Amino acid sequence: MICPVLRDASSSLAKINMRFFLLILGSILIVSLQLTWLPKLAVLTITPNLILAGVLAFAICQKEEKNFWWAMIPILLFDLLAGRPFGVFTLSACLMFFSLELLSNIFFKKNDLLALLLLAVVGVLFFEVYQFLLVEVFSIWRLIEPIKLSVFYFSVALPIKVFYNGLLSLLGLLIIRKSQLLFSHGQIFKIK
Amino acid sequence: MKNTNKSKLINFIIILAVILLLIFFNWWGWLTAPKSLVFWAARPVIGLFQAIDKRVSVPWDFFITLKDLSQENANLMSENKRLFGENSRFKETARENEILRQQLNLDQPAKQKLIMASVTGYSLTSGQYLLINKGRTDGVAVGLAVVAANNFLVGRVAEAADNFSKVLLVTDGNSSVNALTQDTRVNGAVKGNHGLGVTMEMIPIDAQININETVLSSGLNDGVPRGLVIGRVIGVDKKANEIWQSAVIAPAAEINNLEQVFILVNWKEF
């Protein structure tokens, strides 16, 4: 006869494993989508980034506890497959997530649309700044050429990136909110 | 509240440490196996998405270009006739060249060894890259030239894992290939322009370049042989008070619609 404690433990372990498997599967789907279909939506070679938008949405959603380790899986998968050099995307996304979470806790107590919009815009800007700084650091070891900040970057590339990723992150936020019931008792986050 | 902030800080530090450790592992080449594993796992899904894309985009593209089809057909017919005549002349010249080489006891030109690879994806987030399904185990190495059919230069291998590689496209801002114009033999450096096009820079101001002239690789880069077609000159930017002029190049390879590419593995200048 199996002890009830052991049975409960094995049942919760199976649930976590199932969730982990689903997350890996979902991450592979998202990364594949990013590499195949999303480049077709490029405007002047600027493509929306599903993974970045997902992390952004996760960072700005109002939750008590968020487990960033779950967000790490798609980020790492994308970086392993397409990031160059490896680490720039992961580090930028991680720094952006924590900066944005800190910012939203300090300045944005209200959960209105304007605040969310501002957070999405600031999040993309944070990501770009971190990416720029990290590329500068990596270029010291000649792993990548430094980013050339041109008029094109500020007047065209950056606004398109902000628009595309900000819009996608708001869409992601909507999906997260709609799926509250699904995840409210899970490991990914707890609803306030 | 304080405890929550403290736990968040600890979490942040742990995550940062893990990422830095992974970067260190990558530096030493210890992430090759995980990279290959991820590619192996994602490959069927990427294939599925590509198949769906092909099914949708081919009829769509046909529908979009339908109105220009008759004009395009007429253009291609006349181009075909011109190329047929040119090809016959080149065949004769090649034969003459071969006979002369034999008479002068010159070495025969070495044939290029090509590796065919399928394009599995585009990464345009941090630079202009494409992913191909051949890696180190197939003989791919960093720096090798990647061409489309007809020796049209696509880019160079920037990173090679075991079973896949990343190719830096010629249109990327970080890409630089030494080139020369075919008719006027003017040297310069072909650089990408934010992924939007290609520019030939460092051309002396007094050099004469013709519009529609073909631009070839000059062979001065490691891994990129001489004579690969980069594109065609479509405009010249010349300012009187500068020492260099630049030329706008239309890339020969249709970079956004590539399905197969070739990696030049074994080539020798002759």
Look up the CATH number of the domain holding residue B124: 2.40.10.350
Question: Which residue in the set B121, B127, B158 is minimally distant from A36, CB to CB?
Answer: B121
Q: In chain A, which residues have their Cβ closer than 8 Å to the Cβ of B176? A: none
Evaluate if residue A133 carries a pLDDT over 80.
Answer: yes
Chain A: residue whose CA lies nearest to B29: A86
Evaluate if residue B1 carries a pLDDT over 60.
Answer: no
Question: Residue B68 — pLDDT band, cuts 50, 70, 90?
Answer: confident
B165, B268: one domain: yes
B258, B144: one domain: yes
Distance (Å, rounded) from C-alpha A15 to C-alpha B199? 55
Q: Where are the beta strands (DSSP E) in B124-186?
A: 129-132, 145-148, 152-160, 165-169, 176-181
Chain B nearest C-alpha distance from A27 (Å): 10
- Comparing C-alpha atoms, which of A53, A58, A62 is closest to residue A168? A53
B168, B38: one domain: no
Whether B73 maps to a domain, the answer reads no
Q: Does B158 touch chain A (CB under 8 A)?
A: yes
Average pLDDT, integer, range A57-86: 81
- Which residue type does B58 have? V
B125, B204: one domain: yes
Is residue B188 within 8 Å of residue B202, measured between CB atoms?
yes
Count the neighbouring beta carbons within 10 Å of the beta carbon of residue B199: 17
Q: Does B94 touch chain A (CB under 8 A)?
A: no
B133, B266: one domain: yes
Q: Which residue shows structure tokens 């480049």? A: A39
Provide the number of structural domains found in chain B: 2
Q: What is the pLDDT of residue B126?
A: 65
- Which residue type does A162 have? V
Count the neighbouring beta carbons within 10 Å of the beta carbon of residue A34: 27
Q: Do B158 and A49 touch (CB under 8 A)?
A: no
B47, B119: one domain: no
Q: Do B38 and A98 touch (CB under 8 A)?
A: no
**What's the mean pLDDT when you consider all of chain A?**
80
Three-class HEC string of A120-141: HHHHHHHHHHHHHHHHHHHHHC
Q: What is the pLDDT of residue A180?
A: 64
Query: What share of chain A in percent tops pLDDT 70?
Result: 84
Whether B260 maps to a domain, the answer reads yes
Integer-rounded Cα radius of gyration of chain B: 23
Average pLDDT, integer, range B28-37: 87
Q: What is the pLDDT of residue A108?
A: 67
Distance (Å, rounded) from C-alpha B96 to C-alpha A104? 76
Q: What is the pLDDT of residue A110?
A: 63
Whether B69 maps to a domain, the answer reads no
Count the neighbouring beta carbons within 10 Å of the beta carbon of residue A83: 24
Q: Does B6 touch chain A (CB under 8 A)?
A: no
Q: In chain B, which residues have their Cβ closer than 8 Å to the Cβ of A33? A: 49
Average pLDDT, integer, range A11-22: 77
Q: Which parts of chain B fold into alpha helices (H)?
A: 2-27, 32-65, 69-103
Q: What is the pLDDT of residue B270?
A: 43
Looking at chain A, the number of H-run helices and the number of E-run strands are 8, 2
Dump the DSSP string for B8-62. Answer: HHHHHHHHHHHHHHHHHHHHTTTTHHHHHHHHHHHHHHHHHHHHHHHHHHHHHHH
Q: In chain B, which residues have their Cβ closer than 8 Å to the Cβ of A165? A: none
Q: Do B122 and A85 touch (CB under 8 A)?
A: no
Q: In chain A, which residues have their Cβ closer than 8 Å to the Cβ of B15? A: 68-69, 72, 94
B56, B114: one domain: no
Dump the DSSP string for B221-233. Answer: STT--TT-EEEEE
Evaluate if residue A68 carries a pLDDT over 50.
Answer: yes
Q: What is the residue range of B164's domain?
A: 109-270
B57, B115: one domain: no
B47, B137: one domain: no
Is residue B36 within 8 Å of residue B161, measured between CB atoms?
yes
Whether B198 maps to a domain, the answer reads yes
Q: Do A144 and B174 touch (CB under 8 A)?
A: yes
Residue scoring higher pLDDT (A149 or B138):
B138
Distance (Å, rounded) from C-alpha B200 to C-alpha B210? 13
Is residue A170 within 8 Å of residue A121, measured between CB atoms?
no
Question: Which residue in the set B4, B125, B173 is minimally distant from A47, CB to CB?
Answer: B125
Q: Does B31 touch chain A (CB under 8 A)?
A: yes
Whether B135 maps to a domain, the answer reads yes
Question: Residue A129 — pLDDT band, cuts 50, 70, 90?
Answer: very high
Question: Which residue in the set B8, B22, B122 is minimally distant from A87, CB to CB?
Answer: B22
Question: Which residue in the set B31, B42, B196 is minimally distant from A32, CB to CB?
Answer: B42
Evaluate if residue A184 carries a pLDDT over 60.
Answer: no
Whether B8 maps to a domain, the answer reads yes
Average pLDDT, integer, range B58-71: 78
Question: Residue A109 — pLDDT band, cuts 50, 70, 90?
Answer: low
Integer-rounded Cα radius of gyration of chain A: 18
Residue A159's beta-bridge partner residues? none
Chain B nearest C-alpha distance from A7 (Å): 30
Q: What is the pLDDT of residue A29?
A: 92
Q: In chain B, which residues have their Cβ closer than 8 Å to the Cβ of A29? A: 45
Query: What's the pLDDT tens digit per position in B157-182?
Result: 988 888 889 998 888 888 888 888 88
B177, B261: one domain: yes
Mean pLDDT comparison of A68-72, B21-25, B239-243, highest-scoring range: B21-25
Whether B39 maps to a domain, the answer reads yes
The answer for residues whose C-beta is within 8 angstroms of residue B143's C-beta and 6 or more apart is B156, B157, B222, B223
ipTM over 0.85: no
Q: What are phi and psi of B130, to 5 degrees?
A: -130, 150
What is the sign, positive or negative, of the torsion defined by CA atoms of B81, B83, B86, B91? negative
Query: What's the pLDDT tens digit per position in B184-199?
Result: 888 889 888 776 778 8
B158, B267: one domain: yes
Final residue of a domain: which of B63, B82, B99? B63
Whether B256 maps to a domain, the answer reads yes
Evaluate if residue A40 carries a pLDDT over 80.
Answer: yes
Q: B150 exposed, middle or buried (CB, 10 Å; 0-12, 13-18, 19+)?
A: exposed
B54, B169: one domain: no
